[in-house]
């Protein structure tokens, strides 16, 4: 009897999701003779049993399309808001998994999806995941699909901002996505020739940034481009956050936990609009006019790059092969030219930040880019 496959996309949208859906669908159906159905809007669609057919006609022509034909959401199986109340929908998901006679559920997503998928695996479901995120921060894979496309968009944006920065002798601050990892800001900053790159992994000293800009002025360069990741923060705030996190780990009573949560919420509020705050500080310290450009969701949109289409198709095809071999409870990871299964237990809850000894960091320093430290 042919295996029955379910597939969903969860978390933020990302270029390459449709290519991955197509890769899994064509390989499972066309090559291995399996049957595949999709679920709309992530884990919520699975909980509500909202099915999308994925026959050849549906899969045809989606390779180059951005977003996801299945829709997505950030709903968690064990914490799903319905009618203003939060419910654990895990039992409903298990019931629909069984009612559709699924042999395996394929989940496409980033770090949060890996954790949710592991919870379902621990409930006895056969699960396989594929790594998706423009942040490139999923653990134990060389790359995630979506990153290359976003990298190209962010780089092109920096290219375009060079002309206005040069014309008006301004500091242009470009905020690039990346709350916990700076791959996107680092890669786009190097490729786009940014003069300063600020990363979550390297808390910055605003005075060091200002001095680097003033030094450029002394050498006749009257503009500067600052590429800053969303999660980058000044050293003082980073130290406060680290101290609060340590208190959170040691908190035992409800009162202590609430106090630490309140402190972390306050620090989060202070970090909001940090690109604007940075621009104000740099204007004060350098005497130059500063402007902020926030790329935001522009980085997620549009057709996936050739590299993302190739990676997503390759991982989707490998996923079908693992299903055929009854390999479950894993994420399909890119390791060099190979696709290898990595246990979900090793992936979920972990993250892949930029190592401080990474060649991209070394490259940035060698070409004179200031990293704020």
Q: Which residues are catalytic?
A: 135
| For helices 254-271 and 235-250, angle between their N-to-C axes, nearest 10 degrees | 160
d(CA 25, CA 193): 40
The dihedrals phi and psi of 163, each to the nearest 5 degrees, come to -65, -40
CA angle 134–140–141, rounded 5-degree value = 50
Beta bridge partners of 197: 227
Any long-range contacts for 359-366 (C-beta under 8 Å, 24+ apart)?
360/186, 360/187, 360/190, 361/186, 363/190, 364/186, 364/189, 364/190, 364/197
User: Which residues share a beta bridge with 138?
Assistant: 351
Kindly list the distances between the CA atom of residue 69 and the CA atoms of 77, 96, 135, 143, 327, in Å, as whole numbers in the listed order: 21, 21, 21, 22, 26
Report d(CA 35, CA 101) in Å as an integer: 11
Q: Cα angle vertex 215, ends 209, 216, to 5°?
A: 95
Please name the residue that has the structure tokens 């949710």.
116
């Amino acid at each position: 009897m042919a295996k029955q496959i379910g597939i969903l996309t969860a978390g933020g949208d990302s270029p390459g999701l449709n290519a991955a859906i197509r890769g899994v669908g064509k390989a499972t159906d066309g090559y291995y003779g399996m049957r595949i159905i999709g679920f709309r809007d992530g884990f919520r669609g699975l909980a509500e049993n909202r099915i999308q057919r994925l026959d050849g006609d549906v899969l045809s022509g989606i390779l180059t399309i951005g977003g996801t034909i299945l829709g997505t959401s950030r709903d968690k199986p064990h914490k799903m808001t319905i009618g203003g109340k939060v419910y654990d929908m895990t039992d409903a998901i298990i019931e629909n998994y069984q009612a559709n006679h699924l042999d395996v559920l394929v989940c496409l997503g980033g770090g949060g999806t890996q954790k949710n998928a592991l919870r379902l695996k621990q409930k006895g479901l056969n699960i396989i995941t594929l790594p998706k995120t423009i942040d490139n921060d999923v653990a134990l894979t060389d790359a995630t699909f979506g990153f290359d496309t976003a990298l190209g968009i962010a780089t092109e944006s920096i290219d375009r901002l060079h002309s206005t920065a040069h014309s008006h002798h301004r500091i242009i601050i470009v905020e690039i996505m990346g709350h916990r990892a700076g791959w996107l800001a680092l890669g786009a900053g190097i490729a786009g020739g940014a003069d300063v790159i600020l990363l979550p992994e390297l808390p910055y000293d605003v005075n060091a940034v200002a001095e680097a800009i003033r030094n450029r002025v002394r050498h006749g360069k009257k503009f500067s481009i600052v590429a800053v990741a969303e999660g980058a923060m000044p050293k003082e705030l980073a130290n406060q956050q680290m101290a609060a996190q340590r208190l959170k780990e040691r908190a035992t009573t409800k009162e202590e936990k609430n106090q630490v949560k309140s402190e972390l919420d306050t620090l989060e509020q202070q970090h909001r609009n940090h690109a604007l705050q940075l621009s104000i500080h740099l204007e004060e310290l350098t005497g130059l006019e500063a402007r902020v450009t926030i790329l935001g969701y522009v980085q997620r949109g549009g057709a996936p790059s050739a590299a993302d289409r190739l990676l997503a198709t390759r991982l989707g095809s490998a996923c079908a092969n693992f299903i055929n071999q009854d390999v479950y409870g894993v994420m399909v990871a890119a390791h060099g030219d190979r696709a290898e299964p990595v246990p979900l237990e090793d992936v979920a809850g972990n993250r892949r930040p930029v190592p401080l000894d990474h060649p991209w960091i070394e490259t940035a320093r060698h070409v004179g880019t200031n990293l704020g430290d």
